[in-house]
Amino acid sequence: MSVDAAELKRRTAELLAAHPPADTAPADFLTARFAAGLAWVHYPVGLGGLDAPRALQAVVDAELAAAGAPDNDPRRIGIGLGMAAPTLLAHGTEEQQRRYLEPLWTGAEVWCQLFSEPGAGSDLAALGTRAVREGDDWIVNGQKVWTSSAHVARWAILIARTDPDVPKHAGITYFVCDMTDPGVEVRPLRQITGEAEFNEVFLTDVRIPDSRRLGAVGDGWRVAQTTLNNERVAIGGMRLPREGGMIGPVATAWRERPELRTHDLHQRLLKLWVDAEVARLTGERLRQQLAVGQPGPEGAGMKLGFARLNQEISGLEVELLGAEGLLYDDWTMRRPDKVDFTGRDAGYRYLRAKGNSIEGGTSEILLNIVAERVLGLPAEPRTDKDVAWKDLAR
């Protein structure tokens, strides 16, 4: 049967009646919500969804929010929700989907991403972490870097080189790595904010069963494109209300503290407010496109705009607050399990926004993607595309 808004409201009412939020432990409520197909309604039946149109998720979310139901703390599990889940849905086996998707969505298991390396960041296909087949297992050795949430993650999406004798894009395979396995070492990387929300990860003779491979051997680059396209949408295209995100605290300070206002700052705030609203509405349109298929390279444009706006808005906020904007409540090396831009000081926002043009693909690389895949401009010359990875200069 087709599922419409009325049917979703009925099913949500049944869930709330059977599991009243005030009397049900949050973990139990989330598990029941997944079983009812109300986790992500556009996913298949049995995997937390009802094969319903993606746009109808807002109906369920509104009903549950009005009832005071717990959410799954999406900021804490954003990598799982925005990157691992769509990749598992597109390329995973039925067994993998049934094993990983429910605890991923409920937040019982946190995910991280083992992609970038010290010598393979912007040029991710140059990665050197090796996976060698040994019977039914793969033995993995290498180093990954900039791994957000690795210190709290149970699982990781991992790409590694399985064939060094073919061109760099062709010899990569995609795996799911258990972060609790022997040989996985996580070390904190301290950021300009004073925190260490991301890490470097060393893999030494880590044994991964072939049953945790996603896609065919050597097809990892294609599988990774699903992850990367979803990542850029997840970072740059999140759903926000008007004045949501970074523009909100600045607009609030402007209204509540007239003594801080100047004509120059007023003009800049107006421009950035309009830019933020344009980005918000563009994100809505992008999500409508997602409802009929997988995200494409357009997500790179959203991510570009997100990074530029966050950096300009946070810079304006520091200028508006003057000396007060330089204050920062906690410079100790904390190990947060999620990033919270709006719940922190202006000084934190200003510093943390610097990373927005690096994480999820550097702005320089995203400009290339937009130029080539969205605008159809000629590609930059690449002399290494047909050279075996082992013969590349490093």
Please tell me whether residue 161 adopts helix, strand or coil conformation.
strand
Q: Is the pLDDT of residue 330 over 70?
A: no
* Tokens of residue 288, six digits: 């409508």
Mean pLDDT of 365-375: 85
Q: Is the pLDDT of residue 293 over 60?
A: no
Phi/psi-derived region of residue 40, left when phi > 0, alpha when psi is between -120 and 50, beta in every other case: beta
Distance between CA atoms of residues 329 and 295, nearest Å: 38
* Nearest residue to 95 via CA among 180, 211, 181, 173: 211
Stated as kind and residue range, the H or E segment containing 138 is: strand 137-148
Total residue length of the chain = 394
Q: Residues near 244 by Cβ (< 8 Å), separated by ≥ 6?
A: 280
The predicted pLDDT at position 295 comes to: 60
Q: How far is CA 213 from CA 129, 135, 178, 352, in A?
A: 15, 14, 12, 34
345 versus 295: the higher-pLDDT residue is: 345
Q: pLDDT, tens digit, for every residue of 130-143? A: 999 999 999 999 99
Please tell me whether residue 318 adopts helix, strand or coil conformation.
helix
* Tokens of residue 329, six digits: 């409540």
The predicted pLDDT at position 339 comes to: 72
Helices (H), 36-68: 57-66
Q: Of 231, 256, 317, 319, which residue is the catalytic one?
A: 231
Whether residue 231 lies in the annotated active site: yes
Please tell me whether residue 278 adopts helix, strand or coil conformation.
helix
Sorting pLDDT into bands at 50, 70 and 90, what band is 335?
confident
Q: Chain-wide mean pLDDT for the chain?
A: 90
* Complete domains list, the chain, with CATH: 5-71 (no CATH), 81-86+108-219 (2.40.110.10), 224-374 (1.20.140.10)
Stated as kind and residue range, the H or E segment containing 114 is: strand 111-114
Q: pLDDT, tens digit, for every residue of 147-157? A: 999 999 999 99
